Structure 1
Amino acid sequence: MLKHLFKLIWNKKKENFLLISEILISFMVIFAVFTLLVYNYQNYAVPKGFEEENVWSVDLGELNVSKNKDSVGVLHENLRNVLKNLPEVKAISYASANVPFSNSMFTSGTGYKGIRINVDVNRVEDDYKQVLGLSLLSGRWFSPEDNGLAKSTVILNEEAKERLFGKEDAIGKMISDGSSKVIGVIQNLKDKSDFKAPMPAIYTRIDTGKINQMNQILVRVAPGTTAAFEGKMYKMIASTIKSTNLEIKHLSDMKAEKNKETIIPMIIFFIVTGFLIINVALGIFGVLWYNINKRRAEIGLRRAIGATSSAVSTQLLGEALVIATFSLIIGSFFAVQFPLMKVFDLPTSVYLLAQFFAILFIYLLVVICALYPGKQAAAIYPAVALHEE
């Protein structure tokens, strides 16, 4: 039966060319949609690696003080003491501008034994781990014992560790041409968006020589802290540092804004794809309907010689599935080129899963579109069809 259907469709390939082309184009679009969905879902399913709830980001802006690092250092220390005395504040840490979900990024190159990678460089303090609730996988976090060391100490995230050392233990290794010593490895942080894969990152300890560049503070507050306290803290910070463009943001709100950068384009893409799918469905439905009306005599003759209504319906459904199969064979040939050629540099699993889901979707769409025309064909009475002929 299957061989007969393939032979039947192949002999009518010119008549079915437009439908095959339509399903092929639809498959490629659906493949792109599922690639986007699978990639974003896989990124979303990755553990966050930190706790952004109840963490506020304080941008100190331009300080109205001397740029001398000693003056800035005294100002920062005064502000730290003011904030620590507030009962709602659980932990604070100065940091570079590229705090989680910010629009800032500081990338630099690092290497180990000939392997060179670009990393997101984060300058942090000893309390940064406590503020964000980071998960230490091996080694240790920064502490006062790192003061005055001849070599700077650094901490890597999982991604940077894997790219530089693979399965090898990273603790105690020297990177960046021997200028930095790895003392710890932390879990990857999804600090750009819920839908973006973590990139290699390195964490360095803020030293006194760079203190005048640290105008960002992360503050962990007690759960349930109200907006009234936020206003109070804002006034206290403003009066302490005399800043003209002080800004306080919640990391949870910053994350929501970053997520919108992925969600909104996805929604627009899905709407456009939805219209395409509707047009394809109507096209398949119309072609099958036309074929039934065109083949009423054939269907009537089959019924007259003993074919059951279910056999007629099954044949029409089978023909539609065979047409879809021709399209999917061609489409799959192009789809498998994406992982082979490393298009967009996505994991191979993303493309394979997207292709699998796209094939299932196309088959399901064809079955749905073929059910009603097949039912109508099965309802044709032999005598009526032959009489019309």
Structure 2
Amino acid sequence: DLFTGDASYAKQWKYTTAPDADARAVQAAYWADLWAKQQGKGSAVSGTVAKAAKMGDYLRYAMYDKYFKKIGNCVGASSCPGGTGKDASHYLLSWYYAWGGSTDTSGGWAWRIGSSYAHSGYQNPLAAYALSNHADLKPKSSTGAADWSKSLQRQMEFYQWLQSDEGAIAGGSTNSWAGRYATPPAGKSTFYGMYYDQQPVYHDPPSNQWFGFQAWSMERVAEYYQQTGNAQAKAVLDKWVKWALSKTTINPDGSYQIPSTLQWSGQPDTWNPSSPGANSGLHVTVADYTNDVGVAAAYAKTLTYYGAKSGDAEAKSTAKALLDGMWGNYQDSLGIAVPETRSDYGRFNDSVYVPSGWTGKMPNGETIDSSSTFSSIRAFYKNDPAWSKIEAYLKGGAAPVFTYHRFWAQADIALAMGSYAELLE
């Protein structure tokens, strides 16, 4: 009733999606189709590829404003006009889209929303290229391939608009300032009328301070460049790779340091497609460095695809050094991983804001009220064998150290090794 005003709210089913993950699945299907056909086994993956094309059709919902408002200079939830046709589409991969409806079969209502926020780290030009140009992945809808062709161009413009003076890619844009179509600060830079946001969606921590988003996103640009030789992709990569390499250290023993936390200042020039600005007022600095294996693998993949197409010797040698370094220094019985000091776990004691007078229960029984903390409503953490390390830290001890074998990281390492073997060995 905190949200609905009554205790008998209408029950509903609902789903949400991560557009960047869906686009990565399309990206994988593209490579699977190419490699299978090279072996004369295209039929072995044709069913899966067809499903990817269908998903790509639906994925166009990620291109729309949250409430399907017109894109550009959208201020005021009531005064910003609703879209007609496709003028509510920004043609970028947004943060999410979601849909749902009544669980009561006599209810007869349903809903669907897009997202007004587009993050640079979510874009995938290779997926857009595949869905617009690769025959087996072109959606069956009448305008699907054309929409993805426009998205491909828009994504490449987005990267160019967000590229800092140094070379890193800044956060993104929104069609709904502050998430409520508020009036943005005076002088805010725009991209087709969408406002520049250095930290789209989440601010704690800032959504674009993690170098991993750089490596993930540029790797997709590099694959697109390697497959097509696109000049716009090469120009973005030339500048990004030069910056990233200048911030990378390979030690004599093979260990390495790559950027971790980024800090941003300024903003890009307002986008002018016919005369793009130089972004001399948009800057990035590297606050600290890491030897994280998952991010390093994604970065090595970027360098591999870029180096294979451009011939850049330093990109190729650094890709090899990163892969050799993690293989030689960070292997254990479970995979490849490095220890991490987790001072952020001090936030287990953080208060959870619940207005006074409202109470409830978590699914596993803990009380939710105005004195709740992160850990008080997640008691299951105390059953973890390593909880004592967190508990000691919360009582004033040293920050705990853990070695995580994250699935995505192990997968990225394997893919990076494979990409290097295919393209550069």
TM-score (norm 1): 0.20
TM-score (norm 2): 0.19
Which structure is richer in relative contact order (CA contacts within 8 A, separation 6 or more)? 1
Higher helix share: 1
